[in-house]
Amino acid sequence: MGKARAMSDTRPKSFQEIILRLQSYWAGQGCAMLQPYDMEVGAGTFHPATTLRSLGSQPWAAAYVQPSRRPTDGRYGENPNRLQHYYQYQVLIKPSPPNLQELYLGSLQAIGIDMDLHDIRFVEDDWESPTLGAWGLGWEVWCDGMEVSQFTYFQQVGGYDCHPVSGELTYGLERLAMYILGVDHVMDMPFNDPSAPIPLSYGDVFKQTEEEYARWNFDIANTDVLLKQFEEAEAECKAILDQAHVDPKTGKRIVMAHPAYDQCIKASHLFNLLDARGVISVTERQAYIGRVRALAKLCADAFVQTRAGGWTDEDAA
């Protein structure tokens, strides 16, 4: 903790420096520095390092950046604060340590928030993910009235009670960085060091893609194809989990929780795309969410049957 405080003496100059400082801070707290999950997800929570690893009795501590997509939030890169593709920084520690709030505040200092000048508040925000069958209690953390993080104690995931309880921190990186860097429009934010030989802004990196995806998400994406893909992902997820736990080829016990969960993630994102295309009615919406939740539940069932999920040879006996 002491080391982290020293770092805040200088203010970060760029978006990436804030990410680097978070990485360094949480590495210093003993978290495994994971990389983004290589699939389209709506939030960092979907990364199996959070969803699946919050299940079962095994201790866990990990942090990672997760690119996240929310097709309905696309504004063609014009809205100063809204993006269909953005980054979340995610920390998950199980069991939640008693000083998690202090650790979290330390991370804010590490990225240049002067605790003597700002107003940090923990405001009730119960988290619930209907698609993951998960909920927890916690807060949204406000810095001067702006929500900069979600802070959640997971109580249930995939229909399972979490025991021990994981503490989850999610930072909305763009918003947080814009605030620290004093930028009013996300596209104007320096991505790398402004004094670098080739300085790049967030807009240099993402303005064009925001336009492209906004058009595709809202008007072009072929809904018939998306619907078909949704059905396929759903079917594949179930098919994977229908397999026997013992692999006939190797003779080993291999429960394929992660490959099945990939299909669940796919289905969830396809649902988000269909939603952005406006082809899902209010009643259907609930049905689709229910279908994704059913997959998440099946994946959770499978994960607790794996070693990482706390399964032991004694369980088999």
Partner 1 sequence: MPDLLIELFSEEIPARMQKRAAEDLKKLVTDGLVEAGLTYAGAAARSTPRRLTLAVEGLLDKSPDTREDRKGPKVGAPEKAIEGFLRGAGLTRDQLEERDTPKGPVYFALIEKKGRPAAEIIAEVLDTTIRNFPWPKSMRWGAGSLRWVRPLHSILCILSDETGASVVPFEVDGITAGDTTEGHRFMAPDRFAVTGFADYEAKLKAAKVILSPDERADHIWAEAQNAAFAQGLEIVEDQGLLAEVAGLVEWPVVLMGDIADEFIPLPPEVLQTSMREHQKFFSVKNPKTGLIEKFVTVANRETTDHGATILAGNQKVLSARLADAKFFWENDLRVAETGGQAWLDSLSNVTFHNKLGTQGERIERIAQLARAIAPSVGADPDLAEKAARWAKADLSSEMVYEFPELQGLMGKYYAAPAGYPVEVASAAVEHYSPLGPSDDVPSAPVSVAVALADKLDTLTGFWAIDEKPTGSKDPFALRRAALGVIRLVLDNDLRLALDQLFDAQLLRHQIALNENGSVRDALLHDLDSEIADHGVIGAAIRTVLDHFDGDLSKHLEQVKDNLPDTSRDLLGFFHDRLKVYLRDKGIRHDVIDACLAMPNNDDLSLLVKRAEALSTFLTTDDGENLLQGVKRASNILAQAEEKDGVEYSYGADVKFAEADEETALFAALDKAEAAIKPAMEDEDFAAAMHAMADLRAPIDAFFEAVQINTDNQVVRRNRLNLLSRIRMICAGVADLSRIEG
Which residues make up the interface to partner 1 (CB under 8 A)?
79-82, 95-98, 101, 114-124, 126, 136-139, 143-146, 153, 155, 162-165, 167, 179, 184, 281-283
16/79 with CB nearer partner 1: 79
Peptide bond into 71 cis (omega under 30): no
Report whether 53 contacts 137 (CB < 8 A): no
Which helix (H) or strand (E) segment holds residue 131: the answer is none
Nearest CA to 91 out of 174, 149, 4 is that of 149
144/188 with CB nearer partner 1: 144
188/247 with CB nearer partner 1: 188
Residue 150 pairs with which residues in a beta bridge? 140, 170
Report whether 65 contacts 74 (CB < 8 A): no
121/215 with CB nearer partner 1: 121
Q: Is 35 exposed, middle or buried (0-12, 13-18, 19+ CB in 10 A)?
A: exposed
Peptide bond into 48 cis (omega under 30): no
- The pair of structure tokens assigned to 214 is 């906004």
119/242 with CB nearer partner 1: 119
Beta strands per DSSP E along the chain:
32-33, 60-69, 85-94, 120-124, 127-129, 134-143, 146-157, 160-161, 167-172
24/223 with CB nearer partner 1: 223
Angle (CA) 139-294-234 rounded to 5° is 120
Phi, psi of 195 (to 5 degrees): -95, 10
Q: How far is the CB of 281 from partner 1 (least distance, A)?
A: 5
Q: How far is the CB of 174 from partner 1 (least distance, A)?
A: 12
137/205 with CB nearer partner 1: 137
- The pair of structure tokens assigned to 311 is 């399964």
Q: How far is the CB of 136 from partner 1 (least distance, A)?
A: 7
Nearest CA to 255 out of 308, 315, 317 is that of 308
Q: How far is the CB of 4 from partner 1 (least distance, A)?
A: 17
Which helix (H) or strand (E) segment holds residue 290: the answer is helix 282-303
258/291 with CB nearer partner 1: 291
d(CA 12, CA 108): 12
Q: How far is the CB of 120 from partner 1 (least distance, A)?
A: 7
Q: How far is the CB of 100 from partner 1 (least distance, A)?
A: 8
Report whether 104 contacts 141 (CB < 8 A): yes
Q: How far is the CB of 283 from partner 1 (least distance, A)?
A: 4
Q: How far is the CB of 123 from partner 1 (least distance, A)?
A: 7
